[in-house]
Structure formats: C-alpha cells, structure tokens
Amino acid sequence: MTRIAEIRTHPLSVPLAETLYTAHECHQKAHLIVVEVRTDDGLVGTAEIHATPMPAVCDWVGRFAELLKGRDALATTDNWEFLFSLTSPRPGGMFAKDGLPAPLGRSSRANVMAAIGGIDLALWDIRGKAAGLPVWRLLGGSGAPVRSYATGGFYREGAPLDACAHELAGYVEAGYRAVKLKTGGLTIAEEVERIRATRAAIGPDVLLMLDMNAAFSLDDCIRFAHEVEPFDIFWLEEPLHWHLSPTDFAVLARSTHIPIGHGERELTRHTVRDFIEQGGIRYVQFDATRAGGMTEAVRIAHLAEQHGVSIAPHLAPEIHSHLVAAFRTAAFGVETMGGSDRNPLSYGLYQERMQMRDGMVEIPQGPGWGSEVDWDFVGKHRA
C-alpha cells in the first residue's frame, strides 16, 4: 500500500506590475499555495490552492496532514470523505472521545474546503503517477486538445473605456477564439460602451463572455442583460450579488436569452446542485483549486452532464484541463490568462507551460497532472 508520509505547503506571492481591479476587488499581488504530498514509497504529488488568507489555509492543511499520515494515498474518495466528515457533528464525537478533532468551526468552512481540495488534488497527482497515467486517462478521457478562452479587461485606474477592447483584440490575434471581459464596475451605460468597443475590436466570430463578479441586483442585472444582448454575449458570469439565491438566478435565466455561468465561489456539489436543478445556470464554473478538489469536481461534472449543462472550470488550466478532457460532451473548456501581467505565478509555476494553438490547449501527457513544478521558482517567490 502506498501510504501518506508527509504533507507540506508552499505559499507564494508576487507583486503585480500594476494594480488591477474587478467590480469587487483590488489586486496588487498574485497569490498561490502549492501543496506537496509525499508517500512512503517515494511518490510526490503536487497541487495548487487558490484561496486566502494563505496562513489560515496552510494551517488547516497542516492539521489535516497529521490526521492523514499513514493512510492509503490512492484512496482519494475515502480520504476526502474522512476529512469532509470533520466539518459536521458526529455521534460519539463530543469531547473528541473517538480520537478525532471536534467538529470544525462554521466560520472556517471556506478555508477548510480549500485545504481539503488542495490535498485531494495532490493525491490525484499521486494516483496518476502510481499508475503511470495522466489524470485525464484515469477519468476515462482522451488526450486531444481542449478549448481555451482568455480572460482580460481588468479595470486600471485612469485607463480609457476602450482599453479593454485593444487588450482582448490582442488575445484574438494571439489565436484565441473566445475571450472574457471583466464588467460590472462602472455604470451600465459605461459598461455598454466597453462591450460595444470590445465586440467591434474582436469581430463577430469570436465568443465574448462577460464576468460581472457579483455586481448586480436582480432587477439591475435583467436591465443590463437586455442592454448587452445585441452584442452576441456567450454567457453572463457571476452576475448577481453574493447573497442572492439559486431562485434569483433562475428568474434571471428566464429573463434573458444569454446563458448564465456561476460556481467558482461554491464550496460543494450540494449548492451547485440547487443552481442546476432550478435552471439558474448553463455553465458550471466550480473551481477544484478553491474548494473540494478533483473528487468533488468529478461529482459536479457528472451532475452537470445528467442535467444537460456544461462545465467551464475557473482558472488553473494545468489541473482543470484533465476534467474537461474527461467530460467533453458536457464541457465548454478551460480558462487562461492572456498574459503574465495578470498572474505571473500561473506562467512560472511549472517547468513547461501548456501550449495554445487556434484556441485549443494541449493537455499534459505525462503521469498525474503531467506538469512538474519548478521548485526554483517556488523558492524564489515563497511568501
């Protein structure tokens, strides 16, 4: 049996060349946690966690490392269920009489799910390496390239409204056939002008998505959707305020012919299920590097497939491309950043970057994730 021997975290941080804004957040640094799992027979699995605050997430990984030591590293589902069970009360769990920690605090759930996800992803890397197969092959997928789109149009202080149009047109010139624009930070009239300029710059044949970062109330979003419908929008992503429910998303979906995407901030398949079953979303953007890992992402992909909707995972293409490759009939593609200025960590973390041609990315062919971490880069940018 291949047993877990050690789990380490490597938090990374790199200042951005300039401050970037979404409708919700200000970004001055790129952050990332590398999880490293070692086994007693010499296998090493790695993964990414995209969650903050990094010290809290790393602390949870460290706590779980002690509980997982000696367990079967290839039993990904069993390990996932074991860790997830700690988030709820259990019979006999009072005063830690069963030898396990007391139920984990409610306020820590996001950090806990990020830690579970990172460990799970690293264990999937080990599973692939133990079998000598890439993860997409373990999932039954094929090795053909998968579609990719580039995200851009972050707000920059003092930039003209049409700056985003020139940026996204550059991604099209680089070969992308689908691009995503950050929106929701300005007035609806100003956003319409940004979108109009972008559509004119990229041409009629390129897919154009809008990422709103939860900027709108339901009524305002319906008005916004009607204003941008003439520009042939492929989806509206995270359109509604964080506190609105799957019911509100369903109302929005019935109010516009533009499909709705959502899911990157959801922590489990259970909430994603409600968005799907109520008809609120057509594109499921669950992020395995933020919560739940590959074990939960696979469950969500099956759920999406059964309901006739598509997965479009949020960022981390070196990992999420494996999932997309395994669910091609129920998958749109993977997200990338068009340039290293937005997230230099994603461009430097691996020894070899994924190659993109004609809007498609070559998925890794080596065992596990197929992309080996550049440990010199990690050492240089350790937080």
Is it the case that residue 138 has pLDDT exceeding 80? Answer: yes
Angstrom CA distances, 12 to 6, 51, 82, 336, stand at: 20, 11, 28, 19
pLDDT of 338: 80
pLDDT of 356: 87
Rounded average pLDDT over 329-347: 89
CB 306 within 8 A of CB 329: no
pLDDT of 100: 83
Rounded average pLDDT over 311-317: 96
pLDDT of 211: 98
CATH class belonging to 4-132? alpha beta
Candidates 262, 265, 255, 239; CA nearest to 184 is 239
CATH architecture of the domain formed by 137-373: Alpha-Beta Barrel (3.20)
CATH 3.20.20.120 range(s) for the chain read: 137-373
β-partners of residue 152 are 181
Give residue 317's pLDDT band: very low, low, confident or very high (50, 70, 90). Answer: very high
The question of whether 380 is a catalytic residue gets the answer no
Candidates 151, 145, 153, 146; CA nearest to 338 is 151
pLDDT of 151: 96
Q: In whole angstroms, what is the distance from residue 317 CA to residue 324 CA?
A: 9
Burial of residue 376 (CB within 10 Å: 0-12, 13-18, 19+) is exposed
The question of whether 69 is a catalytic residue gets the answer no
Candidates 379, 382, 341; CA nearest to 16 is 341
268 DSSP assignment: S
Given the residues 10, 182, 262, 320, the one annotated as active site: 182
Is it the case that residue 337 has pLDDT exceeding 90? Answer: no
Tokens of 273: 């299920």
Give residue 67's pLDDT band: very low, low, confident or very high (50, 70, 90). Answer: very high
331 DSSP assignment: B
Is it the case that residue 237 has pLDDT exceeding 80? Answer: yes
CATH 3.30.390.10 range(s) for the chain read: 4-132
Candidates 120, 112, 194; CA nearest to 152 is 194
**Whether pTM exceeds 0.85:** yes
Tokens of 69: 């030591």
Candidates 133, 125, 177; CA nearest to 288 is 125
Given the residues 129, 180, 262, 314, the one annotated as active site: 314
Tokens of 137: 């092959």
DSSP H or E segment with residue 237: strand 233-237
